[in-house]
Amino acid sequence: MALTWAAGPSLLRYVVNLRPGIFSALAVAVLLMSAAASFSQSGQIGECFSSKLERRIEGCSKIIVKGRRESKSNRIAAYLNRGEAYRARGDLDRAIADVEHALQLDPRSAAAYATRAAVLYDKQGYDRAIADYTRALASQPHFVLALLGRAEAFQARKEWDAAIADYGRVLEIDPDLVKAYVGRGDAYLANGDVDRALTDITEAIRRDPKSAELHWKRGTLFRSKGDLDNALRDLSEAIQLNPEFLQARVDRADVYRAQGNLPLARQDLEAALRLDPHFRPAVEASDRLSKLVEGQKTTRAPARKHSPLESAVIFQIGPVPITRPVVTTWAIMLALAIGSWLVTRSLPSVPDRRAAVLELIVMGVMQQIEDVLQKDPRPYLSLLGTLFIFLVAANLSSLVPGAEAPTSKLETPAALALIVFFSVHYFGIRSRGFLKYLSSFAEPKLIMLPLNIVSEVTRTFSLMVRLFGNVMSGEFMIGLVVALAGLFVPVPLMLLEGLLGIIQAYIFTVLATVFIGAAIGSVEKG
């Protein structure tokens, strides 16, 4: 009988975690001993074991008041039972005092040490709790409640290896104790060993498959390993077993979100908030989901379509972007400079075939300039000749794989048109003088001054647009035919495009020559 009292509610807490066979046997034993006690003792003993705390405290107090008229074992049991009742009520100081009285009666009582350790654990005195659990185990090495309590105290002190060792000893005594598997699994997880934690929780589920909390624990472990399918399965099982398991719904919503299934994630969070509108994890998860949905709407907005006039930026020099046409322009300039140097560096005194070809080209360009200007072409040869050669190379560069004709982008024709614009005024002032050149804008009458100024600007603009439009349209047509018909079909078009490039270079140069002629007065304006 004293043994039954000494175990008290602590024994009952242990029993509910045992497998059914052991539970039944212990339950029968407890009932038999309780029945025997009811015949041999007064009703006060029954009250000392009452499930109602106040009645238990009152019944145990009556036994304690009797003092030595009651047996020593009964008084120890009464102190421990009343201490447990005080502990359950939250009155830890009175609980400690009762356990101390029990220890005065029996300084070697394992049950008393274990009870005091439990109260000390509640008061967060983990070191003293471990010491008392160790004293209890010194007299009863297989005292499962003491082993479990000490393991929990080790966990509270974050001594994971010691906790794992105690849970292991419990499982050696009773391999089917679910609480030990769960505790050791938590300790493994805290120690960073997710795989062993998963193994222990799985063993616990095998022994208690209807526990929603165990399925939730395993689901969170699977999620931490990135196994979203198994995590979803366990979290769904936990919710099915307990539809009001709010944290399981929040965690399943996180899994759905990770899988990209935002509607189902939203459903779980809404269900959790319906059950408890103030459940903070659900509120925070719902806010995160809303921000994610808004972010996706922003990213799904139609991307800005790039204009065909834009060029791809290859790199930057400080804040200046360098595009592919710019690189092609530099390559053409370098090639023309090196080529000119190689061709002219060692011209023979007696003209050979190479000198004859160069002379033919130079004389041809000079003749064209002279025909337009009706003046000595040499002052204008360097500008107009270079302009023509560069434009031929630039327009034909689109035929080179990977190159992009600089004149197919608006920047290069605009730059060339500006060069012509300033050159026209330079040659006009140099030829006619500053004041006479300015007065030419008022010819034939002063009223023509605004129109002549506008004409200077518009013809430069038309020069730019004509070159740009013809070269870009040619590249666009070739690209379209390649996309629709294949690689070799547009070859004739490419040859035609090369011919048109030469013609456009010629037209641009001739127009520049005409503008210079009008500025120096050798060509009539109009």
How do residues 227-239 score in pLDDT, each as one tens digit? 999 999 999 999 9
Dihedral, 64, 67, 71, 73 alpha carbons, nearest 10: 40
Tell me the C-alpha distance between 164 and 172, whole Å: 12
- Give the pLDDT band (50/70/90) at residue 4: very low
* Whole-number pLDDT of residue 25: 38
CB 119 within 8 A of CB 92: yes
Q: Higher pLDDT residue, 284 or 449?
A: 284
Tell me the C-alpha distance between 1 and 16, whole Å: 21
Q: Higher pLDDT residue, 3 or 161?
A: 161
Q: Higher pLDDT residue, 489 or 40?
A: 489
- Give the pLDDT band (50/70/90) at residue 524: low
For the stretch 369-389, pLDDT in tens is 888 888 888 888 888 888 888
CB 140 within 8 A of CB 171: no
CB count within 10 Å of CB 181 equals 25
* Whole-number pLDDT of residue 30: 37
Sequence-separated (6 or more) residues with CB below 8 Å from residue 521: 431, 432, 440
**Surface-to-core class of residue 341, CB atoms within 10 Å of its CB (0-12 exposed, 13-18 middle, 19+ buried):** exposed
Q: Which long-range contacts (CB under 8 A, 24 or more apart) does 290-299 make?
A: 292/257, 292/262, 293/262
- Say what the pTM is: 0.50
Q: For residue 201, what are the CA distances in angstroms to 172, 187, 189, 212, 253?
A: 17, 11, 11, 12, 22
* Whole-number pLDDT of residue 31: 33
pLDDT at 90 over 80: yes
Query: Between vectors from CA 179 to CA 200 and to CA 142, what angle results, nearest 5°?
Result: 105
Read off the pLDDT of each residue in 48-72 and give the average, rounded to a whole number.
86
* Whole-number pLDDT of residue 2: 33
Tokens of 78: 């009464």
C-alpha 15: how far from chain center: 48
Paired with 317 in beta bridges are 320
Percent of the chain topping pLDDT 90: 25
Tokens of 436: 């006479």
Q: Higher pLDDT residue, 129 or 14?
A: 129
Helices (H), 449-490: 449-485
Tokens of 187: 């300790």
For the stretch 137-175, pLDDT in tens is 998 999 999 999 999 999 999 999 999 999 999 999 999
* Torsion over CA: 328, 331, 337, 340 (sign): negative
For the stretch 395-453, pLDDT in tens is 888 777 767 778 877 788 888 889 988 988 898 888 888 888 878 777 777 777 777 78
Q: Give me the phi and psi of 320, to 5 degrees please.
A: -95, 120
- Give the pLDDT band (50/70/90) at residue 464: confident
CB 455 within 8 A of CB 519: no
Which run of H or of E encompasses 162?
helix 160-173
CB count within 10 Å of CB 295 equals 10
Tell me the C-alpha distance between 450 and 150, whole Å: 102
Tell me the C-alpha distance between 405 and 418, whole Å: 19
* Whole-number pLDDT of residue 13: 40
* Whole-number pLDDT of residue 492: 66
Q: Which residue type, as a one-letter code, is found at position 434? A: F
For the stretch 240-260, pLDDT in tens is 999 999 999 999 999 998 888
Tokens of 476: 């666009």
Percent of the chain topping pLDDT 70: 81
CB 249 within 8 A of CB 285: no
Cα separation of the two ends of the chain: 129
For the stretch 294-322, pLDDT in tens is 776 655 545 555 555 566 667 777 667 77
Cα–Cα nearest to 60, from 38, 37, 83: 83
- Round the average pLDDT of the chain to a whole number and report it: 80
- Give the pLDDT band (50/70/90) at residue 461: confident
pLDDT at 486 over 80: no
Largest CA distance in the chain: 146
Tell me the C-alpha distance between 120 and 397, whole Å: 88
- Give the pLDDT band (50/70/90) at residue 526: low
Q: Higher pLDDT residue, 239 or 458?
A: 239
For the stretch 27-42, pLDDT in tens is 333 333 443 343 334 4
Q: Which residue type, as a one-letter code, is found at position 246? A: L
Domains located in the chain, CATH noted: 209-295 (1.25.40.10), 320-520 (no CATH)
CB 294 within 8 A of CB 286: no
CB 132 within 8 A of CB 125: no
Tokens of 488: 């070799």
SS3 track for 492-524:
HHHHHHHHHHHHHHHHHHHHHHHHHHHHHCCCC
Q: For residue 316, what are the CA distances in angstroms to 182, 323, 394, 466?
A: 60, 9, 22, 30
What is the CB-side half-sphere exposure of residue 144 using CA atoms within 13 A? 20
CB 327 within 8 A of CB 339: no
* Whole-number pLDDT of residue 9: 40
For the stretch 394-406, pLDDT in tens is 888 877 776 777 8
For the stretch 91-146, pLDDT in tens is 999 999 989 998 898 888 889 899 999 999 998 999 999 999 999 999 899 999 99
